[in-house]
Amino acid sequence: MIEVKDISKATDNVVEKSYSKLISLGHRKKFAQFFTPFQLASLMANWLLGNQRLNTVLEPAFGLGVFSRALLSKKSDLFIKGFDIDEKIFAEGKEIFSETPNVNLHLEDYMFNDWDNKYDGVICNPPYFKFHDYDNKTILNEIENRLKIKLNGFTNLYTLFLLKSIYQLNSNGRLAYIIPSEFLNSDYGKLVKSALIKNNILRHIVVFDFEENVFDDALTTACILLCSNDENNQSVKFSTVKRISDLELVRTYISEYPLNSVDGSTFSVKALDPEVKWRKYYQEQNGIRYKNLIPFSSVAKVVRGIATGANDYFTFSKLKANQYGIEEKYLLPCICKAIDVKDNFFTKDNYHSLIKSDRQTFLLNAIGSKDENVLKYIELGEKTGVDKKYLTSCRTPWYSLEKRPPSPIWVSVFNRSGLKFIRNEANISNLTTFHCVYPAQNSLFDNVNVDVLFAYLLTNIAREIFEDNRREYGNGLQKFEPNDLNKAMMLDLTLLDKKTENKILELYNKYRKSAIIKSPTENYLTEINNILKTKYSHC
């Protein structure tokens, strides 16, 4: 057991560190136990304490009570109710607060309890479970029935905690939540942002720098939401914290609220659009530096690669094909792993080299086959339950592949150094390790050479503008879903005159030749970038 002799002096993370030594990482991950630094817990507690009528407090994911300790060290007569579902951490929390009768703890699931009570303050670091890691359907039904709203099935658990807590705020009550900031820029986050705006409670969003983890064990981005159910609901402030010292500015905001000055980081509630990525409110947008922008979707369509539902079964190397006697006519040429594509140009020679190296380079493509060996392999899939997996069970027949013709351009899904586009000169298919880029037919762009498009996609300008629509997951990891790219902007290349277009193609072909021989000359791309900057820059 973790002993705390004086709860009012437990103003650090010693108990969390002790618990982490006692309890395995596996158990902590199972219950999403990532602890809040006391410095942040204290900051969030100050926001609640700014409510002069603060008497009752709810801590929906209690853990070891870091928020309650921060609150009680400054105001000892608060009545606090806490919930947790893990017996181990609950027992430790009960012991820590055993001499504090005004802290009432419940070994119950917050999502299904306490709906009828409201509080002067709610403070929380909710469990960070994605939609597939919890009882998604049951909890979504509970929230939808209680709050009379319809939610996205991909909604993460922490946002459901937030929606319930908003509902439980008293008049003039305050809420402080620390959660991943990905909801600000994701599709499922639209409904959450709408709820924050509709309820007129959002006052301040503190976004942490994406290259700095707030939690030691969690690869995640984070933000703090400060909300208040009062009449000061005209504006919302956005702050970006790059280092711990920046928190002083947030403390100043909290101490001065509601008498805050309006600046470039403050927006009218009416100006906030829940349908767009909220990055535009707290980070400078690269696209504003350029003129004549058009949606990328008017030029090309981005879709994900082929999803098999069972890669180990469907993918083949040459050796595996020989072992099972599967002839090549029943196999679809395919790039299966991002690591197999090193450069911006993937040629037939590159593909044949992978085959010789016995890499996974084929997909089973055996619809209608009567071949004995193919039928045996299909039977093997049924014996081992491949046909019962989620994606395969939705297909008829289960071993059929998604219809996805080879795309001339691929784009990486995850990256840390900017988007990577690949010219698929081998004309083969790809799994979901890459998205497919199909130049649009019958569009404004249909008369422009696909190589001009690809030359543009290799430039820094293209990457900069695309980054306005990225998603971030911590440690600089970026992700682009197909619609992030489809909805992004790009330069309108149809405005290029023929002479400029030919110059770009000349430089592009020189770059291609240098890249093919493994000696890419970046100066050619720099020249293309400079040409575009001259023609499209506002300066």
> What number of other Cβ atoms are within 10 A of residue 275's Cβ?
8
User: Which position has the higher pLDDT, 188 or 306?
Assistant: 306
Compute the average pLDDT of residues 4-21.
79
The CA distance from 314 to 362, in Å, is: 8
Give the angle 178-182-185 at the CA atoms, nearest 5°. 130
Query: What pLDDT was estimated at residue 329?
Result: 95
**pLDDT tens column, 453-462:** 999 999 999 9
Q: What is the DSSP letter of 334?
A: E
Share of the chain above pLDDT 70, in %: 91
pLDDT at 445 over 50: no
For CA atoms 167, 171, 177, 183, the dihedral sign is positive
How sure is the predictor about 467, in pLDDT bands with cuts at 50, 70 and 90? confident
Residue 333 has pLDDT above 80, yes or no: yes
* pLDDT for residue 448 is more than 60: no
Name the helix (H) or strand (E) containing 225.
Answer: strand 223-228
Provide the pLDDT confidence category of residue 443 given band limits of 50, 70 and 90: very low
On whether the CB atoms of residues 67 and 41 are closer than 8 A, the answer is yes
Cα separation, 413 vs 475, in Å, equals: 16
User: Does 394 or 260 have the greater pLDDT score?
Assistant: 394
> Is residue 3 packed enough to be buried (19+ CB in 10 Å), middle (13-18) or exposed (0-12)?
exposed
**Cα-Cα-Cα-Cα dihedral sign, residues 77, 81, 86, 90:** positive
Highest mean pLDDT of the ranges 9-23, 140-154, 335-349, 487-501: 335-349
| 213-86-157-123 Cα dihedral, nearest 10 degrees | -70
Q: How much of the chain exceeds pLDDT 90, in percent?
A: 60
The whole-number average pLDDT for the span 91-105 is: 93
Give the per-residue pLDDT at 473. Answer: 63
**Each residue's pLDDT tens digit, 110-129:** 999 999 999 999 999 998 87
Q: From the CB of residue 345, how many other CB atoms can be counted at a distance below 10 Å?
A: 19
Domains of the chain: 7-283 (3.40.50.150), 286-298+436-539 (no CATH)
Position 234 scores a pLDDT of: 85
Predicted confidence band at 288 (pLDDT cuts at 50, 70, 90)? confident
What gap in Å lies between CA 67 and CA 36, rounded to an integer? Answer: 9
**CA 43 to CA 36: how far, in whole Å?**
11
Do you find a cis peptide bond into 406, omega within 30 degrees of 0? no
pLDDT at 219: 41
Q: Is the pTM of this model over 0.85?
A: no
306, pLDDT greater than 70: yes
Residue recorded with tokens 């009550």: 173
Give the pLDDT mean for 291-305.
91
Residue reference for tokens 């008017």 = 298
446 vs 438: CA distance, rounded Å: 11
Beta bridge partners of 268: 235
pLDDT at 283: 76
Using CA atoms, how far apart are residues 67 and 18, in angstroms rounded to an integer?
17
The listed range with the strongest mean pLDDT (132-136, 266-270, 361-365) is 361-365
Dist. CA 228–CA 171, nearest whole Å: 9
Residues facing 316 on adjacent strands: 362
Q: Which residue has the higher pLDDT, 385 or 444?
A: 385
Orientation angle between helical segments 522-536 and 498-516, nearest 10 degrees? 160
User: Which pLDDT belongs to residue 133?
Assistant: 60
